[in-house]
Amino acid sequence: MSELLPNHVAGGWVHGTGPGVALIDPVLGDTLVRVDAGGIDLASAFAFAREVGGTALRALTCRERGELLGAIARVLQSHREAYDAIACANSGTVKSDSAVDIDGAIYTVSTYARMAARLGDTRHLIDGEAVRLGKDESFQSQHVQVPTRGVALFINAFNFPAWGLWEKAAPALLSGVPVIVKPATATAWLTQRMVKDVIDAGILPAGALSVICGSSAGLLDALQPFDLVSFTGSADTAAIIRQHPAIARRSVRVNIEADSVNSAILMPGDAPGSPTFDAFVKEVAREMTVKSGQKCTAIRRAFVPVQLHDAAAEAIAARLAKTVVGNPRNSTVRMGALVNRAQYDAVRAGIEQLAREGNVIHDGAQAGLVDADPTVACCVGPTLLGVRDPDAASLVHDIEVFGPVATLMPYRDTAHAAHLARRGEGSLVVSLYGPDEDALARMALDLADSHGRVHVVSPSVAALHTGHGNVMPQSMHGGPGRAGGGEELGGLRALGFYHRRAVVQGAPGVITSMGI
């Protein structure tokens, strides 16, 4: 029988008491390892994290916590090859796609380690300037932010088992808040291995970092009023979390990242073959195929001026036709598998739904697989759909097919394009492509109300931009409406989620001393 991975709670390793859930290679169909969380004393695990891990972290200065993050980044880098092998086997990703997850995680931890130096030897954050409350300076008000005395519970998605952990854990640990991560079961192996490597290296205080693999049953029940939850996943699960008594009655703070039907817009003013036209085509195709389209930030809807629809369709389809799909162990393969058979079935069903409102421009089902049995491998070729009348359509603005699928649609003018983008009812990201920077700026501000991030590509940054779907630790990640209404990262802004803001009123000497 395959290995049963242990969980790490209350400062020690413990196996679940059940038979475990098998993690499967989505290309070969082999069983890899098993995970189980049955029998864990969750109340004790959470209490240990709060009382032991939290106390130890809060005793450190921000600079010292940053040094811990730097050590974590070095440990993760030293095990880079092992992580790549796990990602290939468990997620079915090619090396370049694995790097998006693994190297993105290491870069994020390293970035927050560097940011810590700016905070210095403080254990809390001063929020704004002191303000007098009376007719003279003898009585003042100063807002401060102090680390919450709870635990941060992360319930993560399957698509980013590495980055999904560390983009949350880095600012939490820097804030002085202990972490318990519950990775998605399907790809929990990489998360568990990263936690194990950090624990084995003896970097963090006991209780500062825990991992629970398997069922999430009982996790929310263990939450107390000063704890935090950060969830990444479906809107349906997010709704269940929001209604849980811990959130609804105990005021546990929650951050949600849910569904997002992201858009890319080619602005007016360019012809086929122009730099911005080519940048748009390249990015749409790339976002469809990176990690087999299994990114919360991937382009799902692509909008072009009506007169450029056919040219864009032809150009994107031509790029997609060059995508080699199959076993990521083969060096010629450029796109691997979906995470499992359930995801494969969901994507196929989603394509059928979207096709009811439009036509198939490039059919991924026609792509032959390299070194992979189509009856076993969870591979779907990139599929580009087209909808000629986006105003009459509804499914394309509502359904997020979480795979290598996007829909191309025409628009009349920029007001129409913005209206169509907003029909996603709140998204993580929209990208704009055009030569006129004034027009791009106006459109960016017009769309900022309904998008967490507006990624603008003009000719001057065409070779430098970080990509529509890449989430950088310096920029905010999250979005309004159906995207969950949450905010992560954004540099030191991320620390706000893990701190409690309070105001201290007193004499100037008291106020001044708090800055020490």
Which amino acid, 498? Y
Q: How many residues does the chain have?
A: 516
For helices 188-200 and 163-175, give the axis angle rounded to 10 degrees.
Answer: 40
Phi and psi angles of residue 420, each rounded to the nearest 5 degrees, phi first: -65, -40
Kindly list the distances between the CA atom of residue 227 and the CA atoms of 57, 251, 272, in Å, as whole numbers in the listed order.
Answer: 15, 9, 53
Structure tokens at 243: 């209604």
Active site residue 257: yes
Q: Is 147 helix (H, G, I), strand (E, B) or coil?
A: strand
Rounded Cα–Cα distance for residues 300 and 323 (Å): 18
Q: Identify the sign of the CA torsion 65, 67, 73, 78.
A: negative
Closest alpha carbon to 209 in 221, 220, 198: 198
What is the rounded CA–CA span in Å between residue 65 and residue 57?
Answer: 7
Tokens standing for residue 152:
């941060």
Q: With b meaning 16 or more CB within 10 Å and e meaning fewer, what string describes 253-281?
A: bbbbbbbbbbbbbbbbebeeebbbbebbb
Distance separating alpha carbons of residues 467 and 283, to the nearest angstrom? 7
Which DSSP symbol is given to 209?
A: E
Radius of gyration of the chain (CA): 24
Cα end-to-end span (Å), the chain: 57
Catalytic one among 296, 357, 379, 400?
A: 296
Catalytic residue among 62, 88, 167, 257: 257
d(CA 354, CA 451): 23
Helix axes 163-175, 95-119, angle to 10 degrees: 10
Q: Tell me which residues are annotated as active site.
A: 257, 296
